[in-house]
Amino acid sequence: MTVKVGVIGTGSIGAEHVRRLAQQVSGAEVTAVFDVDRERAIEVGAPVGAAVHFAAHDVIDDPAVDAVLIASPGDLHAEQVLACLAAGKPVLCEKPLATTAESALKVVEAEAAHGRSLVRVGFMRRHDFGYRQVKAVLDGGGIGEPLLMHCVHRNASAPSWFTSEMSLTDSVVHEIDAARWLLGAEIVAATVVAVKSSPLAGGLRDPQIVILETAGGVVIEVESFVNCQYGYEVRCEVVGSTGTVSLDTPSTGAVTRSGGRTQPLPDDWRTRFGQAYLDELQAWVDGRPGGATAWDGYAATAVAEACLRSLATGARSTVALADAPTGSPQ
């Protein structure tokens, strides 16, 4: 019983998904691909025997496609996910679900109208072993009542086209989803704090600190630093009424040489979250519950929008979520 997957977008992350689906995920094959760069699509799709289509919608409508993975540019996501819903096919959409809360909400509503849970959003951290350990401690009451959370999200360097806004919509959005998931609570306000920028950040506002607040008053403080120079680092600490639980950089050992004892760091998110991506795909192909829903994708986008407003104005910005549609398959 093999799931035939069509992949839209075969750039960096799309190509990695194709490779994983073809070589590492049990019970999956990639039967169709599309990319605006047709040569790239052929380069990625041909070795795994996938048909290379001329349009995204041809992938969605291909009868040899059971389920669709979307790794196209973010501003195309919402429309493509809606097309998958129209075709009644399960879809795993790389984050973001949409670039505006308004269009993300349309996806939520369309899925609710459809009546089946067909949409998953690629917040891969929910599948990371370390994050799951944190979640288990929280759910088991291991630190009492969560009160606040510290998060660090650092990349060695950002590409030249990266913007201060993308630090919020592309990086911090992961902390937004992780915090909602770990705490089981919606975020109702966001404040971006002005910080001195690194002289190596190419004119970006970088690092940035974001203060998020849940309805219940839990505060999530996030540092995003996309040009930290030294490596990739994602950490968090949840502070509860009786203890704390932390996600640290995974470590399996160290090298001691002149200068000290050094634990290596991952180069980038591919290394750090490679296993999480794989587990995400396997769970999706298996049809197992879990993973971020359309609602999660909508909520994350809505909070990211509040961050953008705060960045622009310097003031705290509130998040007004729509009511979840009746029958919404959260």
Q: How far is the CB of 157 from its own copies (least distance, A)?
A: 11
Residues 273-312 that bind its own copies (CB under 8 A): 275, 282, 286
Helix (H) or strand (E) holding 281: helix 269-286
One residue of 48, 76, 209, 321 binding its own copies per CB under 8 A: 209
Stretch that binds its own copies, among 51-59, 118-126, 213-221, 289-297 (CB under 8 A): 213-221
Q: Say whether residue 207 binds its own copies (CB under 8 A).
A: yes
Three-state SS for 128?
coil
Q: Say whether residue 203 binds its own copies (CB under 8 A).
A: no
Is the alpha carbon torsion for 157, 162, 163, 166 positive or negative? negative
> Phi, psi at residue 171, to the nearest 5°?
-100, -60
Residue with smaller CB distance to its own copies, 6 or 207: 207
Q: Say whether residue 329 binds its own copies (CB under 8 A).
A: no
Residues 155-194 that bind its own copies (CB under 8 A): 156, 193-194
CA–CA distance, 134 with 123 (Å, rounded to integer): 16
CA–CA distance, 307 with 5 (Å, rounded to integer): 34
Whole-number Cα distances in Å, 294 to 85, 120, 155, 193, 252: 11, 6, 27, 29, 35
Q: Say whether residue 75 binds its own copies (CB under 8 A).
A: no
Residues 236-265 that bind its own copies (CB under 8 A): 239, 241-265
Q: Say whether residue 26 binds its own copies (CB under 8 A).
A: yes
One residue of 100, 117, 163, 197 binding its own copies per CB under 8 A: 197
Residue with smaller CB distance to its own copies, 261 or 289: 261
Residue with smaller CB distance to its own copies, 196 or 326: 196
